[in-house]
Amino acid sequence: MIVDTLISSRWIIPVVPAGLILENHSLAIRDGKIVGLLPTDQALEKIQATHVERLEHHALIPGLINSHTHSPMSFLRGIADDLPLMEWLQGTIWPLEQKWISETFVRDGTELAIAEMLRGGVTCFNDMYFFPEISARLALQSGIRASIGLIVIDFPSAWARDADDYLSKGLALCDELRNEPLLNPVFAPHAPYSVSDAALRKVRMYSEELQLAVHMHVHETRDEIEQGLANTGMRPLERLKQLDLLGPSFIAVHMTQLIDEEIDWVAESGCHVVHCPESNLKLASGFCPVGRLLENGINVALGTDSAASNNNLDILGEMRTAALLAKGVAGDASAVPASTALRMATLDGARALGIDSCCGSLEIGKSADITAITLDTLETLPVYDPVSQIVYAANRDQVTDVWVAGRQLLKSRTLTTLDPDKIRESIAHWSVKLHNC
Does the pLDDT value for residue 142 go beyond 90? Answer: yes
Mapping DSSP onto H, E and C, the string for 17-80 reads CCCCCEEEEEEEEECCEEEEEEEHHHHHHHCEEEEEEEEEEEEEEECEEEEEECHHHHHHCCCC
Say if residues 195 and 153 touch (Cβ distance below 8 Å).
yes
Q: What is the pLDDT of residue 180?
A: 97
Mean pLDDT across 175-200:
97
Say if residues 200 and 240 touch (Cβ distance below 8 Å).
yes
Say if residues 391 and 286 touch (Cβ distance below 8 Å).
no
Question: 10 Å Cβ neighbour count for 320?
Answer: 20
Q: Encode pLDDT of 284-316 as tens digits.
A: 999 999 999 999 999 999 999 999 999 999 999
What Rg do the C-alpha atoms of the chain give, in angstroms? Answer: 21
Length of the chain: 437
Confidence band of 7 (pLDDT split at 50, 70, 90):
very high
Closest CA to 398 of 374, 379, 417, 433: 374
Q: What is the pLDDT of residue 426?
A: 95
Q: Encode pLDDT of 59-107 as tens digits.
A: 999 999 999 999 999 999 999 899 888 888 888 888 988 888 999 999 9
CATH class of the domain whose range is 64-353: alpha beta
Question: Using alpha carbons only, what angle is made at residue 105 by residues 100 and 107, rounded to the nearest 5 degrees?
Answer: 160
Confidence band of 263 (pLDDT split at 50, 70, 90):
very high
pTM beyond 0.85: the answer is yes
Helix, strand, coil share (%) of the chain residues, nearest 5: 45, 25, 35
Q: Encode pLDDT of 380-422 as tens digits.
A: 999 999 999 999 999 999 999 999 999 999 999 999 999 999 9
Q: What is the pLDDT of residue 80?
A: 86
Task: Please classify residue 21 by burial: count the beta carbons closer than 10 Å to its beta carbon, then call 0-12 exposed, 13-18 middle and 19+ buried.
Answer: middle
List all residues 6 or more positions away from 46 whose beta carbon is below 8 Å from its beta carbon: 1, 38
Q: In whole angstroms, give the CA distance from residue 127 to residue 194.
A: 18
Mean pLDDT across 161-165:
97
Q: What is the pLDDT of residue 88?
A: 84
Say if residues 121 and 399 touch (Cβ distance below 8 Å).
yes
Mean pLDDT across 199-223:
97
- Identify the residue with better confidence: 84 or 26: 26
CATH of domain 2-62+367-405: 2.30.40.10
Does the pLDDT value for residue 436 go beyond 80? Answer: no
Confidence band of 48 (pLDDT split at 50, 70, 90):
very high
Pairing of strands 122-127, 64-69: parallel
Mean pLDDT across 158-184:
97
Q: What is the pLDDT of residue 98?
A: 87
Helix (H) or strand (E) holding 214: strand 214-218
Domain range list for the chain: 2-62+367-405, 64-353
Confidence band of 437 (pLDDT split at 50, 70, 90):
low
Does the pLDDT value for residue 435 go beyond 90? Answer: no
Q: In whole angstroms, give the CA distance from residue 317 to residue 396.
A: 8
Q: What is the pLDDT of residue 274?
A: 98
Q: In whole angstroms, give the CA distance from residue 262 to residue 265.
A: 5
Mean pLDDT across 49-54:
97
Give the chain's mean pLDDT.
96
Confidence band of 365 (pLDDT split at 50, 70, 90):
very high
Estimate to the nearest angstrom the gap between the alpha carbon of 421 and the chain centroid.
Answer: 25
Phi, psi of 206 (to 5 degrees): -70, -35
